[in-house]
Chains A and B, each alone.
Chain A
Amino acid sequence: MSYIIPRFRHPCTAPNGIGYTRKDYEGALSTLCAGCGHDSISAAIVQACYEMSVEPHLVAKLSGIGCSSKTPAYFLRQSHGFNSVHGRMPSVATGANLANRDLIYLGVSGDGDTASIGLGQFAHVMRRNLNMLYIIENNGCYGLTKGQDSATADVGSKTKSGQANMFSPVDPAGLALNIGATFVARSFSGDKAQLVPLIKAGLHHPGFALIDVISPCVTFNNIPASTKSYAYTREHMSAADVVDFVPAAAKYGADGAIDVKMPDGATVKLRRLPDHHDPRDRAAAADAVMTTRERGEVLTGLIYIDTDHPSLHEMLDTTETPLRALGEKELCPGAKALEAINRNAR
């Protein structure tokens, strides 16, 4: 790892629509291993937020525990961050979102955090359709404890220790489809062209958006016998679509793509690749995930999207004002109301 942030910036870095440069979206220097896939994802988050002109302080970034969960320190310096406990980021994000519905919630998790210790919370945050973007930095192994298999490791896949994994893998995207997630995508940390528009779309999605990003661990799980290595993923990627994200203000012509309208006016444009499913069809999406997996391929792209399903706030019918902004006037029924309670208790 490096230990100095280079001061050099590309000369053509221009301010975005709200006057911020890309640098304003960066964070502290990464302490991950050189070449770690996670750093590429952080860079994709920076790029997506910069290009979307997101106000950094209106993002809350949350994580659990593990290599992946350290990364929120490495992007969006002006955002509040919360590195919580192992596997429990979804509940913290739920509470945070309920307190203030006006912020953007970005959760970063790993495969251990999501598919092992936090599988329960991961499942239930999807059931609640919490309005957040949940990125899994999926490397199939435990990095911080030196390379043990994680629950997303494929059967037969080997880490540097040389042991082949024996246990059936958890496929976060497949699970998400099954349990009712309203935005399910998969990508690869080595494919920024695909990842950046997916992040943009996920940030705009009015409910729970999952992006399962294959993100090779260069130190423990990047050997030829691993199915989460750079080489394997590149060779076995099967993109379902080409995704483009069009902000509300932009104009675009009709080009035969599937346009998915976001409630804020933005559009996700999807060009379906030949022989691929309609991403608005959950059953077809689940089928596509299964069949590509059986072919030994990794299906990437926007696998499923449904922007009509009510989010948690809508289901709870909470007020439009952030709950945290309410005071005594709105919240306290007052002394007189207590008299009635006392009367009924006599």
Chain B
Amino acid sequence: MKPLESVNEFVVRFANVNGTGSASANLLFAKSVFRMGIPICAKNIFPSNIQGLPTWYEVRVSEKGYIGARGDGVDLMVSVNAQSLAEDVACVVPGGYFVYDDIKPLPAELARDDITVLGLPLTEICNREYKEPRLRQLFKNVIYVGALAALVDIDFEVLKKLVADQFEEKKKLIAPNVHALELGYNYARKHFPCPLGLRLKACDKTGDSILLDGNTALGLGAVYGGATVVGWYPITPSTSVIDTFRNYAAATRQDPETGKNNFAVVQAEDELAAIGIVIGAAWNGARSFTATSGPGVSLMSEFLGLAYFAEIPAVLYNVQRCGPSTGMPTRTQQGDVLLCAYASHGDTKHVLLFPSTPKEAFDFAADAFDLADRLQTPVMVLSDLDLGMNDNMSPPLVWNDNRKYDRGKVLTAEDLENMKEKFGRYLDVDGDGIGWRTYPGTHPTKGAYFTRGTSHDAYAAYTENSDIYLESMRRLEKKWQTARTLVPAPETERKGKGRKRGALYYGTTMHAAREALDRLAEEGTELDAMRIRAFPFSKEVEDFIAAHDEIFVIEQNRDAQMRSLLINEFDVNPDRLVRILYYGGKPITAHDIHEKIVRHLKDGARSQNVA
């Protein structure tokens, strides 16, 4: 078997033991490729565990800009975990490379003659160089990055600069880290034919892009969007959203005179209290949010129904993980679409936003506050673990300093004073289904009302009158139609003349779907494509469905939840919406999407409707 040859198009996977400090070394590798101007996609596949279990880090290098997971195997495996040796050898593609810590020779039963095996005496080098066990473990990671630099031709100066940046505050750590890199680098140069067939070549395909995880983007978006009150409860994989908010707010939000905090973060006793805090604060006029994951949303559902019916803005970031129930907490899925769309009993529906990139996560995190205030209803941003906890390549974050927060329809004391008619909290005076609200304490004698989850009339008074109840439910439906015009419109991703087939996708499915559709196009199958960015669906989504005979709905859950939502909202003939699904907990891959669409095109009928 001829060893693989490729410049700037390959997949490297690291197999490590979690809790050994490998993450920062692996990031060093990913970032150095990125700094060479080559687009990357880095995915962390980690266990729900603190220390000792297998963890993988996969870096896809793609000058073509394919930054979704590729699928179909690994080109270069760096194995630093004996526990997962067998599966790590098995996933290397024919012609690929397997680099491992050769403290023991590779067991005979794992030997493959179709791959190149390179034994790196990592443990031996570490034992020789370092006395302390902790240092041996830490530097082992840095040494293999150094060796890799030689093997795939990373610009060593780029690596050194990265180390210098990383330890800007602890300068004395720079030299030992560079030394460790050199140990690996020099060993590889001396003992292996460097570089391998897989190699890097600096290019200029990253432009002004950044590498950022979606949770950081959400936390920053909340700071920029003006959130002041946070109620939350720790849950994987959302916790770092709050960490980001708290740290960044602490750095930028202190009163210049008193040093006091212009924000408040409360770790609640559970998710019920977390969303209760959000709703209480929003009712009282502060911008407020929580971050959680599926199990948290299940608990918050009752309160979300209250906020829907009593019309209170609330912002919730859901970093979705793999369900049902506790599921796989450190794996990804787009499994909460229906849960969030219809959270709570009775006729309830909620505004959802689906970011695909860290930039969009940042934008939507901030936009959610404007939408929630304008629409006086909960707004949920549906990220997922793949976007949230991986360093995703993204356009840079931008903010317009002229932007004003849209606080929606809020009456001031002066407005109340000048009002001729009687104030009615739920009166639809503008015909958009949205009433005017007042914050508590606004005016001594005008504007007070009673907020309740029980049925109420336009003046917020309790009622069991069917006609009045129907009127208020219809007004909420009218408000929903208003929401359709305010939420982020979908993106038309591919459009050709008279094509009868299309694809719909959303969130983190985007990158892999784009690549799969490119491959199909190269093979002669051209599809139109649209990326959904919000629920309720804008008219463009309706038009897109109407314009195509067959639409592939690509998503990461078993039950084709977005497809269900589309069928439910638009009365579409279900036969026209073809399920393209992956829900195994790892990020969806281009390979998988491509294969499933091809199979459907070949076999037709409903073959693909089983994922």
Query: What is A's interface to B at a CB cutoff of 8 Å?
Result: 55-58, 60, 62, 72-73, 77-85, 88, 90-100, 102-103, 120-121, 123-124, 128, 312-313, 316-321, 323-324, 326-328, 330-335, 337-338, 341-342, 345-346
Partner of B263, one of A73, A79, A323, A327: A323
Partner of B285, one of A312, A324, A337: A324
Question: Which residue of chain B has the shortest Cβ distance to A346 in the bound complex?
Answer: B210
The contact sample of 5 A-B pairs, CB cut-off 8 A, is A80-B439, A82-B283, A88-B276, A100-B284, A345-B211
Chain B residues contacting A128 (CB-CB under 8 Å) are 266
Instruction: State whether A92 touches B280 (Cβ < 8 A).
Output: yes
Chain A residues contacting B340 (CB-CB under 8 Å) are none
Cβ-based interface call for B443 (8 A) = yes
Known A85-B453, A328-B404; contact A60-B288, beta-carbon cutoff 8 A: no
Instruction: State whether B399 touches A98 (Cβ < 8 A).
Output: no
Q: How far is the CB of A340 from chain B (nearest CB, A)?
A: 11
Question: Which residue of chain B has the shortest Cβ distance to A88 in the bound complex?
Answer: B276
Cβ-based interface call for B418 (8 A) = no
Cβ-based interface call for B506 (8 A) = no
Question: Which residue of chain A has the shortest Cβ distance to B439 in the bound complex?
Answer: A324
Known A99-B288, A319-B262; contact A80-B276, beta-carbon cutoff 8 A: no
Question: Which residue of chain B has the shortest Cβ distance to A69 in the bound complex?
Answer: B452
Question: Which residue of chain A has the shortest Cβ distance to B399 in the bound complex?
Answer: A335
Instruction: State whether B261 touches A316 (Cβ < 8 A).
Output: yes
Give A338 to B366 CA distance when docked, in angstroms.
14
Instruction: State whether A80 touches B273 (Cβ < 8 A).
Output: no
Instruction: State whether A92 touches B226 (Cβ < 8 A).
Output: no
Instruction: State whether A103 touches B265 (Cβ < 8 A).
Output: no
B 180-193 binary contact with A (CB < 8 Å = 1; else 0): 00000000000000
Cβ-based interface call for B457 (8 A) = no
Instruction: State whether A98 touches B450 (Cβ < 8 A).
Output: no
Give A245 to B405 CA distance when docked, in angstroms.
44
Instruction: State whether A92 touches B276 (Cβ < 8 A).
Output: yes
Partner of A316, one of B210, B265, B396, B443: B265
Chain A residues contacting B34 (CB-CB under 8 Å) are 346
B 380-404 binary contact with A (CB < 8 Å = 1; else 0): 0000000000000000111111011
Q: How far is the CB of A300 from chain B (nearest CB, A)?
A: 29
Question: Which residue of chain A has the shortest Cβ distance to B462 in the bound complex?
Answer: A73
Instruction: State whether A124 touches B280 (Cβ < 8 A).
Output: no
Chain B residues contacting A84 (CB-CB under 8 Å) are 276, 279-280, 306, 453
Instruction: State whether A324 touches B265 (Cβ < 8 A).
Output: no
Instruction: State whether A57 touches B302 (Cβ < 8 A).
Output: no
Cβ-based interface call for B278 (8 A) = yes
Partner of A324, one of B212, B228, B397, B450: B228
B 451-476 binary contact with A (CB < 8 Å = 1; else 0): 11110000000100000000000000
Chain B residues contacting A332 (CB-CB under 8 Å) are 223-224, 226, 399
Partner of B441, one of A90, A95, A100: A100
Partner of B440, one of A96, A121, A312: A96
Instruction: State whether A95 touches B277 (Cβ < 8 A).
Output: yes
Instruction: State whether B284 touches A333 (Cβ < 8 A).
Output: no
Q: How far is the CB of B27 from chain A (nearest CB, A)?
A: 12
Identify 15 new A-B residue pairs, CB closer than 8 A, beyond the known A57-B440, A318-B262, A330-B262.
Answer: A58-B441, A80-B440, A80-B441, A81-B452, A84-B306, A85-B306, A91-B273, A91-B274, A98-B228, A120-B270, A123-B269, A316-B265, A318-B263, A331-B223, A338-B396
Instruction: State whether A333 touches B224 (Cβ < 8 A).
Output: yes
Instruction: State whether B273 touches A338 (Cβ < 8 A).
Output: no
Give A57 to B441 CA distance when docked, in angstroms.
5
Give A103 to B231 CA distance when docked, in angstroms.
20
B 426-463 binary contact with A (CB < 8 Å = 1; else 0): 00000000000011111111001111111000000010
Query: What is B's interface to A at a CB cutoff of 8 Å?
Result: 34-35, 208-212, 220, 223-224, 226, 228-229, 231, 248, 252-253, 255, 258, 260-266, 268-270, 272-286, 288, 302-303, 306, 396-401, 403-405, 438-445, 448-454, 462
Instruction: State whether A120 touches B441 (Cβ < 8 A).
Output: no
Q: How far is the CB of A326 from chain B (nearest CB, A)?
A: 6
| 8 closest A-B pairs by CB | A91-B276, A95-B280, A99-B286, A80-B440, A95-B281, A92-B280, A324-B285, A345-B210
Known A84-B453, A103-B441, A324-B228; contact A94-B285, beta-carbon cutoff 8 A: no
Name the residue in A73, A96, A316 with the highest tally of chain B Cβ atoms < 10 Å from its Cβ.
Answer: A96
Known A83-B450, A84-B453; contact A60-B397, beta-carbon cutoff 8 A: no
Question: Which residue of chain A has the shortest Cβ distance to B274 in the bound complex?
Answer: A91
Name the residue in B34, B223, B281, B403 with the highest tally of chain A Cβ atoms < 10 Å from its Cβ.
Answer: B281
Instruction: State whether B452 touches A83 (Cβ < 8 A).
Output: yes
Instruction: State whether B277 touches A57 (Cβ < 8 A).
Output: no
Q: How far is the CB of B221 from chain A (nearest CB, A)?
A: 11
Chain B residues contacting A330 (CB-CB under 8 Å) are 253, 255, 262
Q: How far is the CB of A346 from chain B (nearest CB, A)?
A: 6
Instruction: State whether A82 touches B441 (Cβ < 8 A).
Output: no
Question: Which residue of chain A has the shortest Cβ distance to B400 in the bound complex?
Answer: A335
Q: How far is the CB of B297 from chain A (nearest CB, A)?
A: 16
Give A69 to B60 CA distance when docked, in angstroms.
58
Instruction: State whether A335 touches B401 (Cβ < 8 A).
Output: yes
Instruction: State whether A323 touches B280 (Cβ < 8 A).
Output: no
Chain A residues contacting B285 (CB-CB under 8 Å) are 99-100, 324
Instruction: State whether A328 touches B226 (Cβ < 8 A).
Output: yes
Chain B residues contacting A123 (CB-CB under 8 Å) are 269
Give A80 to B280 CA distance when docked, in angstroms.
12
Known A88-B303, A317-B260, A332-B224; contact A95-B279, beta-carbon cutoff 8 A: yes
Give A331 to B253 CA distance when docked, in angstroms.
6
Give A345 to B394 CA distance when docked, in angstroms.
10
Q: How far is the CB of A247 from chain B (nearest CB, A)?
A: 20
Question: Which residue of chain A has the shortest Cβ distance to B168 in the bound complex?
Answer: A344
Instruction: State whether B451 touches A83 (Cβ < 8 A).
Output: yes
Partner of A342, one of B224, B229, B396, B442: B396
Question: Which residue of chain A has the shortest Cβ distance to B35 in the bound complex?
Answer: A346
Q: How far is the CB of A290 from chain B (nearest CB, A)?
A: 26
Q: How far is the CB of B222 from chain A (nearest CB, A)?
A: 10
Chain B residues contacting A102 (CB-CB under 8 Å) are 441
Instruction: State whether A90 touches B398 (Cβ < 8 A).
Output: no
Question: Which residue of chain B has the shortest Cβ distance to A27 in the bound complex?
Answer: B450
Give A312 to B268 CA distance when docked, in angstroms.
13
Question: Which residue of chain A has the shortest Cβ distance to B413 in the bound complex?
Answer: A57
Chain B residues contacting A328 (CB-CB under 8 Å) are 226, 403-405
Chain A residues contacting B303 (CB-CB under 8 Å) are 85, 88
Give A28 to B573 CA distance when docked, in angstroms.
52
Known A80-B449, A98-B264, A319-B260; contact A326-B228, beta-carbon cutoff 8 A: yes
Question: Which residue of chain B has the shortest Cβ distance to A100 in the bound complex?
Answer: B284
Q: How far is the CB of A119 from chain B (nearest CB, A)?
A: 11
Q: How far is the CB of B348 from chain A (nearest CB, A)?
A: 13
Instruction: State whether B280 touches A317 (Cβ < 8 A).
Output: no
Chain B residues contacting A335 (CB-CB under 8 Å) are 398-401
Q: How far is the CB of B372 from chain A (nearest CB, A)?
A: 14
Chain A residues contacting B253 (CB-CB under 8 Å) are 330-331, 333
Known A57-B441, A316-B264, A323-B229; contact A96-B210, beta-carbon cutoff 8 A: no
Instruction: State whether B273 touches A333 (Cβ < 8 A).
Output: no
Partner of B450, one of A73, A100, A342: A73
Partner of A100, one of B265, B273, B397, B440: B440
Q: How far is the CB of A289 from chain B (nearest CB, A)?
A: 24
Q: How far is the CB of B457 from chain A (nearest CB, A)?
A: 13
Q: How far is the CB of B216 from chain A (nearest CB, A)?
A: 8
Chain B residues contacting A80 (CB-CB under 8 Å) are 438-441, 448-451
Instruction: State whether A94 touches B277 (Cβ < 8 A).
Output: yes
Chain B residues contacting A324 (CB-CB under 8 Å) are 228, 281, 284-286, 439
Chain B residues contacting A98 (CB-CB under 8 Å) are 228-229, 264, 266, 277, 280-281, 286
Chain B residues contacting A121 (CB-CB under 8 Å) are 269, 272-273, 276
